[in-house]
Amino acid sequence: MEKAKAVSSYFGSMTFDQKVMRKKLPKEVFLALQKTIEAGNSLSEEIAGAVAHGMKEWAMENGATHYTHWFQPMTGATAEKHDAFLTMDKDGSPIERFSGGQLIQGEPDASSFPSGGMRTTFEARGYTAWDPTSPAFLMKGGKGLTLCIPTVFISYHGEALDEKTPLLRSMDAVSRSAIKLLNILGVEGVSRVNTYAGAEQEYFLVDKKFYSMRPDLVMSGRTLLGAMPPKGQQLEDHYFGSIPNRVLEFMQEVEEELYLLGIPAKTRHNEVAPHQFEIAPIFERANIAADHNLLVMEIMRRVAEKKGFALLMHEKPFAGINGSGKHNNWSIGTAEGINLLEPGDTPESNIQFLVFLVAVLKGVYKRGDVLRASIASIGNDHRLGANEAPPAVVTVFLGELLEKVLDAIESGKVDFATEKQVLNLGLAHLPILNKDYTDRNRTSPFAFTGNKFEFRAVGSSQPIAIPNMALNTLMAEAISELAGEIQAKIDAGADRDAAILEVLREEIKATRAVRYQGDNYSDDLQMAASDRGLPNLKNTPQAMRVLTVQSTRDMFNDFCVLSPEELDARLNTRLERYVKGIDIEVRTLQLMLKTFVIPNVSEYQGEIADSFNALVDASERIGVGSKALKSQGDHLKGLAESLSELIDLTAELDAVIARLEELGEGFDAADYCADVVLPTMERVRSVADRLEFMVDRSKWALPTYSEMLFEH
């Protein structure tokens, strides 16, 4: 067996990282670039030329011929348009060139990307500009390598046409608010506060041969039909079981590709459902984590293809089997490396921790609906609210110990003014709050896990830029409000510690409703949600309406993350994608009924009918009595009745599709999808799935759940 190379020996070797920059750039350019990156600024024109030159040299030495500005349009995928380095010199001889202008500002034709109605097509010019905090990289593809430059994508008028720009703006907003709050807490000299994310990515792998025989998987990423096998995941024997060899090879190849690109993949394991797996990286700055998660998805897709697998990233590819999410681990910390959600070992650092913790409660309580809207999607609707996935209600789990601490503060048992009491309550020794004490509630959509929050309701296929952008913005608001409240008390003459404690007490009380320590999959949560007045937005159109609410719009605008126009563009694009996606699903289902299920069942019914007729003819001769004939007749009758029911439902589906066509792509259409189209599809499915268990397997053309999930 070939011995694997140490990962550290090649990690990041396909990226234009610090090591390469130091080698390829003049010293003053290198230093200026580092400063730009640390401050989170954009690249200045003065050094762009030198950086571009160094980048091109490095890319060409590695065999790249083309470059591309790699960006995240509002479609949820990534986009790239490749340009060759090649140009013609004045005298007509070929030469490779890559200028500063090309590095900091590309100019793609934006008309082919959704703008959510923000610009008319004749103005469809957009600019892409390098986000220097995210390193350029060389991507394999076809026979060669392409230099990919992670960029933001903005319109001619400066509006964000991508998901990256708002994410970066939201990170700036958090930084501004957090520095303000830290100053009030007496912490000076912090230049930048960052948010960090680590995305645990779940996915399914199924054999390519089954996948290509299922139009539903190919067209919509999920099975629209398929009866549950006798063995589902009841035994939970897959979780942390040994990883099948073929899958392990897939994982190893994925990891090698990721390491080359400097993506720190850390853990791999089986998940709860059969054929379901997870990959998790080490957390990074949120914008880089967002880029890297997209690359993880892209590389997994490519390697799966190569290995004869189909990668299913859908949130609910198989009904009745656990879906896939993307646990978005989130924290906030200073550029100097202090995690603000980490309890420290002094009362001061613990007060700081508690203030930021309470800011999270405040933000999630006030803007739970925005958080919910940020993860609404066609696929995630099948997961959220189902009984084994995070619910549509956003609550926060803190764990027993923190609950006690907050209760003690609320009831007035803690007084920061006297350090002794603080120590008595153990606040100076909060470090015992490690993960073992907190990560107990796997049903919570938003759980504190030691020194970070885990937002578990994010869908597996979603770019994490959107939920992180929402989370950062609501945090910027909550932190800023908290700072204002403390400052007001200080201005009114209170001493700082007393002011902090009073505000904490008020906020702990005010946000109590968002803390939920029980089972989030239970009916009790649904009741608690309505008792406590927490939003319970069941589907995408309901959740998207949050973006039309004035106070939501004000928040995004006030914190300079999304203007009302930019917000509408996202609302329109996401509604359109929801409606189009369901339109594709319902048409695919109809096609499967008409070209697979109905013909398959009819054929089998014909055989049974022939055999029944033959039996009737022979019954007297061979002495088959009326009771036996009735049983066989009933069997045929049952089949015929179910088939007729399915044929009638298919006609109903035709009518539903026709109606959907009339409704356009706005809220009316989206509501119709949620309230009529999907339930009709469910009714169709239950009949088709019943028939699947009545029909001879050799007549059923679609691969079954058992085959897809239990055969290797």
Judged by the rule CB under 5 A, the positions of this chain that interact with Mg ion are 327
Question: By C-beta, is 220 or 449 nearer to ligand ADP?
Answer: 449
Given Mg ion, ligand ADP, none, residue 283, with its beta carbon under 5 to 8 Å by kind, binds ligand ADP
Q: Of 253 and 439, which has the nearer Cβ to ligand ADP?
A: 439
Partner interacting with residue 339 (select from Mg ion, ligand ADP, none; CB below 5-8 Å by kind): ligand ADP
The only residue of 131, 159, 200, 566 in contact with ligand ADP, by rule CB under 6 A: 200
- Give CA–CA dist 305/65, Å, rounded: 25
Q: Interacting stretch for ligand ADP, rule CB under 6 A, among 109-117, 194-202, 573-581, 674-682?
A: 194-202
Stretch touching ligand ADP by CB under 6 A, among 192-200, 479-487, 538-546, 689-697: 192-200
**How many Cα atoms are found within 13 Å in the side-chain-facing hemisphere of 637?**
6
Spell out where 456-577 has E strands. Answer: none
Smallest gap from residue 418 Cβ to ligand ADP (A): 32
Q: What is the CB neighbour count within 10 angstroms for residue 542?
A: 21
Residues 149 and 139: beta-carbon distance below 8 Å: no
Applying CB under 6 A, does 131 fall inside the site for ligand ADP?
no
Looking at the Cβ atoms of 51 and 340, the one nearer to ligand ADP is: 340
Q: Can you tell me the distance from the alpha carbon of 550 to that of 51, in angstroms, rounded to the nearest whole number?
A: 44
| Residue 127 or 330 with smaller CB distance to ligand ADP | 330
Strand runs labelled E in 131-210: 137-141, 144-155, 193-207
CA distance 706 to 227: 9
Please, are residues 294 and 78 in contact by the beta-carbon 8 Å criterion? Answer: yes
- Which option in Mg ion, ligand ADP, none does residue 282 bind, with CB closer than 5 to 8 A by kind? ligand ADP
Q: Which candidate, 78, 119, 107, places its Cα nearest to that of 568?
A: 119
Q: Which residue is nearest to Mg ion (CB)?
A: 327
Please give the torsion angle defined by the CA atoms of residues 282, 285, 287 and 292, in that order, rounded to the nearest 10 degrees.
Answer: -20
Please, what is the minimum distance in Å from the beta carbon of residue 454 to Mg ion? 5
Question: ∠ CA(116), CA(119), CA(125), 5° rounding?
Answer: 115
Chain position whose Cβ is nearest to ligand ADP: 198
Comparing CB distances to ligand ADP, the nearer of 175 and 573 is 175
Residue 331 interacts with, from Mg ion, ligand ADP, none (CB under 5-8 Å by kind): ligand ADP
Query: Which runs of consecutive H residues, i.e. helices, occur in 560-625?
Result: 564-592, 598-622
How many residues are listed for the chain in this entry?
A: 712
Task: Calculate helix-pair angle for 164-184, 347-374, nearest 10 degrees.
Answer: 150
How far apart CA 580 and CA 663 sit, in angstroms, is 12
CB of 343 to ligand ADP, least distance (A): 13
Cα atoms in the Cβ-side hemisphere of radius 13 Å centred on 275: 22
Encode burial over 13-42: b for 16+ CB neighbours within 10 A, e otherwise.
ebbbeeebbeebbeeebbebbeebbeebee
* Shorter beta-carbon distance to ligand ADP: residue 58 or 453: 453
Residue 267 makes CB contacts below 8 A (sequence gap 6+) with 278, 279, 280
Closer residue to Mg ion in complex, CB, 327/383: 327
Segment 645 to 674, residues that bind ligand ADP, using CB under 6 A:
none
Spatial separation of the C-alpha atoms in residues 218 and 70, rounded to whole Å: 26
Q: Is 198 in the site for ligand ADP (CB under 6 A)?
A: yes
Q: Which stretch binds ligand ADP (CB under 6 A): 191-199, 250-258, 413-421, 521-529?
A: 191-199
CB of 197 to Mg ion, least distance (A): 12
Dihedral, CA atoms, 696, 697, 701, 706, nearest 10 degrees?
Answer: 150
Binding mask 267-286 for ligand ADP (x = CB under 6 A): -------------xxxx---
The one-letter amino acid code at 428 reads A
Q: Total number of residues binding ligand ADP (CB under 6 A)?
A: 17
Residue closer to ligand ADP by CB (options 281, 581) is: 281
Closest C-alpha among 236, 240, 270, 382 to residue 317 = 382
From 29-37, 196-204, 344-352, 647-655, span contacting ligand ADP (CB under 6 A): 196-204
Site string for ligand ADP, 445-474 (x = CB under 6 A): ----x-xx----------------------
- Do 52 and 29 contact (CB within 8 A), yes or no? no
Query: Which residue in 75, 339, 517, 602 binds ligand ADP (CB under 6 A)?
Result: 339
Nearer to ligand ADP among residue 268 and residue 587 (C-beta): 268
For the chain, the 3-state helix, strand and coil shares in percent, each to the nearest 5, are: 55, 15, 30
> Closer to ligand ADP at the Cβ: 440 or 512?
440
Closest to 403 in 3D by CA, of 498, 515, 289: 515
- State in angstroms the smallest separation of the CB of 189 from ligand ADP: 22
Map the footprint of ligand ADP across residues 596-635, applying CB under 6 A: none
* Smallest separation, CB 284 to ligand ADP (Å): 8
Report what 451 binds from ligand ADP, Mg ion, none; CB cut-off 5-8 Å by kind: ligand ADP
Q: Which does 281 bind (CB under 5 to 8 A by kind): Mg ion, ligand ADP, none?
A: ligand ADP
How near is the Cβ of 500 to ligand ADP at its closest, in Å? 24
* Interactions with ligand ADP, residue window 384-443 (CB under 6 A): 435, 439
Contact residues: ligand ADP, CB under 6 A:
196-198, 200, 280-283, 329-331, 339, 435, 439, 449, 451-452
